[in-house]
Amino acid sequence: MKIAGFQKLTLLDYPSKVACILFTQGCNFKCPYCQNSGLIGHENEVLIPEEEIFEYLKKRKGVLDGVVVSGGEPTVQKDLAIFIKKVKEMGFLVKLDTNGSNPDLLKKLIDEKLVDYIAMDIKNILTLYKEVAGVSPSVNKLEESINLIKNSGIDHEFRTTIIKNIHDINKIKKICEYVDGDTFFLQNFEQSENVCDKKLESFSTEELIKINKIIKKEFPNVTVRRI
Ligand code: SF4
């Protein structure tokens, strides 16, 4: 598997777990707000050998609870299931971060009990992905992934990075409808040196409080982060 980044410890990326996180190389989306834009393209970049990760994990048995597989988009990796299986055989929990574009692979991972937690990004109204993901993925596939995850019986969350220039309150409400009643986080966009589009803006604290108030009335399951 193509691994372009590895963080030995994270207390933030796997809810209630102590984990490490690895970032796979490449993505099938081109989000202008991507915080990991360095992982997209750059096929000649030096990658981290899988053996290095397994060596580290061997030494961390009993210390780490799990491994977060993030990206890039992990499901574009052809050998993702094989890699995860090895991690599971070592006794670690696995959390997968995904953009939901590959429901077939998600189904395989769920059916074979290879994932313990899935976090899926819902980037926009499903028919309007182009304006935020730079591509127009199959709406059917995105819906399939949402339904698979909702009904998987495993821990999961959905989340949307909300961007002031793109997501108005009506769009946000519409996105919330896709996962009504399920765990859903709205997280404020943050501009940074890794973000390609420097014109994108985050919501102010006051605006987030307002959004939170409106959304909570209709969707009490939704949590607005970074207020
Ligand atoms: S799907 Fe994720 S990794 Fe891929 S471009 Fe978008 S934000 Fe970046």
Atom number in ligand 1 closest to CA 99: 1
Domain 3-225, CATH among 3.30.1330.10, 1.10.357.10, 3.20.20.70, 3.40.1410.10: 3.20.20.70
Separation in Å, CA 7 to CA 121, 146, 166, 195, 225? 21, 28, 31, 20, 23
Question: Does pLDDT of 44 surpass 90?
Answer: no
Atom number in ligand 1 closest to CA 71: 3
Structure tokens at 90: 């070592």
Atom number in ligand 1 closest to CA 40: 5
- Whether residue 84 contacts residue 98, with contact meaning beta carbons closer than 8 Å, is answered with no
Select from 22, 23, 24, 34 the residue to mutate for testing ligand 1; criterion: most ligand atoms less than 8 Å from CB. 34
Average pLDDT over residues 57-77: 97
In angstroms, rounded to a whole number, what is the distance separating the alpha carbons of residues 57 and 221?
Answer: 35
pLDDT of residue 227: 52
Question: Does pLDDT of 151 surpass 70?
Answer: yes
Average pLDDT over residues 98-109: 98
Tell me, in angstroms, the distance from the centre of ligand 1 to residue 20's CA: 20
Select from 40, 132, 166, 190 the residue to mutate for testing ligand 1; criterion: most ligand atoms less than 8 Å from CB. 40
| Percent of the chain clearing pLDDT 90 (strictly above) | 90
Tell me, in angstroms, the distance from the centre of ligand 1 to residue 16's CA: 24
Whose CA is closest to atom 7 on ligand 1? 34
- Whether residue 87 contacts residue 96, with contact meaning beta carbons closer than 8 Å, is answered with no
pLDDT of residue 43: 60
Question: Does pLDDT of 188 surpass 60?
Answer: yes
In angstroms, rounded to a whole number, what is the distance separating the alpha carbons of residues 137 and 204?
Answer: 30
Tell me, in angstroms, the distance from the centre of ligand 1 to residue 54's CA: 25
Question: Does pLDDT of 21 surpass 90?
Answer: yes
- Residue 34 Cβ contacting ligand 1 at under 6 Å: yes
Select from 27, 76, 130 the residue to mutate for testing ligand 1; criterion: most ligand atoms less than 8 Å from CB. 27
Question: Does pLDDT of 132 surpass 80?
Answer: yes
- Residue 29 Cβ contacting ligand 1 at under 6 Å: yes
- Residue 71 Cβ contacting ligand 1 at under 6 Å: yes
Tell me, in angstroms, the distance from the centre of ligand 1 to residue 28's CA: 8
- Residue 73 Cβ contacting ligand 1 at under 6 Å: yes
Average pLDDT over residues 117-134: 97
Cα three-residue angle 138-144-147, rounded to 5 degrees = 145
The closest of 163, 11, 149, 154 to 75, measured between CA atoms, is 149
Mean pLDDT estimate for the chain: 94
Domain boundaries, the chain: 3-225
Question: Does pLDDT of 149 surpass 60?
Answer: yes
Average pLDDT over residues 56-60: 98
Tell me, in angstroms, the distance from the centre of ligand 1 to residue 44's CA: 19
Average pLDDT over residues 106-112: 98
Query: Residue 46: pLDDT band by 50, 70, 90 thresholds?
Result: confident
Residue 26: which residues within 8 A CB-CB, separation 6 or more?
2, 39, 40, 41, 43, 71, 72, 73, 76, 77
For the stretch 4-13, pLDDT in tens is 999 999 999 9
Average pLDDT over residues 197-219: 95
In angstroms, rounded to a whole number, what is the distance separating the alpha carbons of residues 180 and 92?
Answer: 31
